[in-house]
Amino acid sequence: MNKENHISMKNGINGMDLDQLTQRLKREDTRNLRIFNNFRYLFLVMIILYSLLFIVNPDHDLGWPDRISGMCFVLAFVVFAWLFQKYYQEYRSIDYSRPVAEMLQMAAKRYSLRNRKSLILIIPLLLIDIGITISFSQHREMFTPGKWIWVVQVVYIPVLAISFLIGAWIWYRQQKPIRDRALKLLDELNN
């Protein structure tokens, strides 16, 4: 047994040794894999449904604003589906037989809250905002001109903020401990 494996197998951090951490990683990775798989299928269904309802629908009562709004939703769903497909492939290719330091480093990166790949979420969120705003503009007679845009934002932005806070809370409760333990074990290995 080499020094790296000996240190990591014997020294536990907060009562969790490498074997326990690996088991917890496998459970969390399997759960995330299942979630990503479900969401990619959900968005594929949404792409088909919205395309049929708003883009190829021959109904003459469906105006251009509705079709443009529908197209914004479809494009947003395409980006979401693509993103969940990428995450699904990433989690499906996880290899726990890699060297300990490499496995811990990849786990810490995977469970980091600050992930640059997540910045692409801005695109579909903006597309949904545009789609909702265009859709809501059909009912602008209820508000003075231009005010309907602000009404949509007053609802949409808090919904996004609450969603982010819920996601951060879930990360803090479930994934941050895994990340922290992986970083501590990695630090132990390096020292």
What whole-number distance in Å separates Cα of residue 124 and Cα of residue 75? 7
Q: What is the CA radius of gyration of the chain?
A: 22
Task: Tell me how many domains the chain contains.
Answer: 1
Residue 140 has what pLDDT? 60
The pTM (predicted TM-score) of the whole model is 0.81
- pLDDT tens across 135-175, in order? 877 766 666 657 778 888 889 999 999 999 999 999 999 89
pLDDT per residue of the chain (191 residues) written in tens, 0 to 9: 444 444 444 444 444 578 888 899 999 999 999 999 999 999 999 999 999 988 777 777 777 888 888 999 999 999 999 999 999 999 999 998 888 889 899 998 888 887 777 788 999 999 999 999 888 777 666 666 577 788 888 899 999 999 999 999 999 998 999 899 999 988 888 87
**Mean predicted lDDT score pLDDT of the chain:** 84
Q: Is 185 exposed, middle or buried (0-12, 13-18, 19+ CB in 10 A)?
A: buried
- Domain range for 101: 3-190
- pLDDT tens across 77-86, in order? 999 999 999 9
Angle of helix 18-50 relative to helix 3-10, nearest 10 degrees, comes to 90
What whole-number distance in Å separates Cα of residue 124 and Cα of residue 31? 24
Degrees to nearest 5, angle at CA 85 with 82 and 91: 145
